[in-house]
């Protein structure tokens, strides 16, 4: 992967002492995986205007509707919130702070304590020809390679979770619901299928989406 | 209902499975009266799609009668003729 691809566009200066970012020549450099951090960059074209998508993302209390395994988000201040994530029997809680907040343009955040060390940025770019908004998400997590591999095998690697969450975000923004097949019938599953379902993260519940009916249906 | 299930590369079987349920408000349940095989079914059959799992139900080229609709569905009603989304897309 080229260095250019590793650069985080539009990122503002973060504190040099930051535990979740490295600044080189005034530009944000996502750390190498060897630093015990993993990072992900993904994007989606969403058929909605940047302002609406910005507001949807900024409404952090509603994140559990479209983010996997996030069970509760409490706003603790203008720019701070507390996040609760449940993965199987494991519950982790962390606080998050918004570092940059440009309506209809971008949001930058990082964790400020708790069980997760992460940072992220979302950028809303108006797509050409009235085709909606290009949503780019960059996120990084302090996590060793071994832990990362373990997460991949047993549930959802945080990298993949970011990709899946953006997919859910797009579905919810465009249709008001998140399509799901969990709870629908299937033929007999063998041992291999069971293993695949675990590796592909299909045992992780699809977030409920906007509708209450969906959240009830999803748990069947 | 009866369903054609993918059970491995080059192996499909008809199984009796539970009836489908409405999960989302825009869902619809169609009772299939006629169905066909699509060229893309062959990619699944031949094992080129790594996310296929034993027990997955095949089929997306069908027509039938609308059995049930989610509460947000306004353009279909029970008893009407329904087609798969793929057929509808082809007509755009």
User: Which residue intervals of chain B are DSSP H helices?
Assistant: 39-45, 85-90
State the burial class of residue B42 (Cβ atoms within 10 Å of its Cβ: 0-12, 13-18, 19+). Answer: exposed
Q: Average pLDDT per run of 10 along chain B, which is 92 residues long? A: 94 95 90 90 93 92 90 84 62 45
Whether A107 is in a domain gets the answer yes
If we measure between CA atoms, which residue out of A192, A166, A180, A174 comes closest to residue A219?
A: A180
- Percent of chain A exceeding pLDDT 70 equals 80
- Percent of chain A exceeding pLDDT 90 equals 42
Yes or no, beta carbons of A186 and B5 under 8 Å apart: yes
User: Are A179 and A167 in contact, with CB atoms under 8 Å apart?
Assistant: no
Whether A24 is in a domain gets the answer no
**CB contact B11 to A (< 8 Å):** no
Q: Domain containing A124: what range? A: 35-218
List chain B residues with CB under 8 Å of A211: 24-25, 72
Domain boundary assignment for chain B: 2-90
User: Given a cut of 80, is residue A35 above it in pLDDT?
Assistant: no
User: Given a cut of 70, is residue A1 above it in pLDDT?
Assistant: no
Total domains in chain A come to 1
Which value does ipTM take for this structure?
0.84
Please tell me what DSSP assigns to residue A19.
S
**CB contact B85 to A (< 8 Å):** no
Whether A2 is in a domain gets the answer no
Question: What pLDDT digit, counting tens, does each position of A38-50 carry?
Answer: 878 888 999 999 9
If we measure between CA atoms, which residue out of A147, A177, A171 comes closest to residue A159?
A: A147
Which one of B7, B19, B25 has the shortest CB-CB distance to A214?
B25
Question: What pLDDT digit, counting tens, does each position of A61-81 carry?
Answer: 999 999 999 999 999 999 999
CATH superfamily of the domain spanning B2-90: Medium-chain alcohol dehydrogenases, catalytic domain (3.90.180.10)
For the record, the structure tokens of A6 come out as 């590793």
C-alpha A39/C-alpha A55 separation (Å) is 25
Whether A17 is in a domain gets the answer no
**CB contact B20 to A (< 8 Å):** yes
What pLDDT, on a 0 to 100 scale, did the predictor assign at position A203? 84
Question: What pLDDT digit, counting tens, does each position of A157-188 carry?
Answer: 888 899 999 999 999 999 999 998 888 999 99
**Integer CA distances (angstroms), B72 to A180, A201, A208, B27, B76, in order:** 16, 29, 16, 8, 10
User: Are A180 and B24 in contact, with CB atoms under 8 Å apart?
Assistant: yes
Yes or no, beta carbons of A184 and B21 under 8 Å apart: yes
Whether A200 is in a domain gets the answer yes
Whether A30 is in a domain gets the answer no
Whether A13 is in a domain gets the answer no
CATH of the domain at A170: 3.30.530.20
Q: What single string gives the DSSP state of each residue in A194-219?
A: HHHHHHTTTTSPPP--S-HHHHHHHT
Whether A18 is in a domain gets the answer no
List chain B residues with CB under 8 Å of A167: none
């Amino acid at each position: 992967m080229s260095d250019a691809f590793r650069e985080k566009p539009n990122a503002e200066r973060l504190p040099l002492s930051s535990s979740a970012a490295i600044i080189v020549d005034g530009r944000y450099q996502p750390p190498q995986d060897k630093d015990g951090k993993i990072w992900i960059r993904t994007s989606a074209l969403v058929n909605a205007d940047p302002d609406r998508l910005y507001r949807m993302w900024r409404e952090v209390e509603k994140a559990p509707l479209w983010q996997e395994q996030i069970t509760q988000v409490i706003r603790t201040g203008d720019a701070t919130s507390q996040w609760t994530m449940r993965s199987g029997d494991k519950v982790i809680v962390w606080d998050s702070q918004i570092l940059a907040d440009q309506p209809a343009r971008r949001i930058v955040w990082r964790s400020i304590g708790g069980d997760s060390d992460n940072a992220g940025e979302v950028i809303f770019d108006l797509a050409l020809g009235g085709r909606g908004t290009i949503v780019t998400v960059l996120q990084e997590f302090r996590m060793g390679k071994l832990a990362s591999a373990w997460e991949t095998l047993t549930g959802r690697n945080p990298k993949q979770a970011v990709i899946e969450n953006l997919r859910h975000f797009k579905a919810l923004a465009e249709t008001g619901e998140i399509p799901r097949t969990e709870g629908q019938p299937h033929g007999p599953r063998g041992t291999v299928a069971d293993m695949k379902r675990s590796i592909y993260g299909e045992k992780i519940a699809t977030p409920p989406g906007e509708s209450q009916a969906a959240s009830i249906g999803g748990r069947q | 209902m009866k369903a054609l299930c993918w059970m491995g590369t080059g192996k499909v079987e008809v199984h009796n499975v539970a009836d489908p349920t409405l999960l989302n408000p825009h869902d619809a349940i169609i009772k299939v009266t006629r169905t066909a095989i699509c060229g893309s079914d062959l990619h699944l059959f031949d094992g080129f799609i790594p996310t296929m799992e034993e027990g997955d139900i095949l089929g997306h080229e069908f027509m039938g009668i609308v059995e049930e609709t989610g509460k947000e569905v306004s353009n279909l009603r029970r008893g009407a003729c329904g087609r798969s989304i793929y057929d509808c897309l082809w007509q755009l």
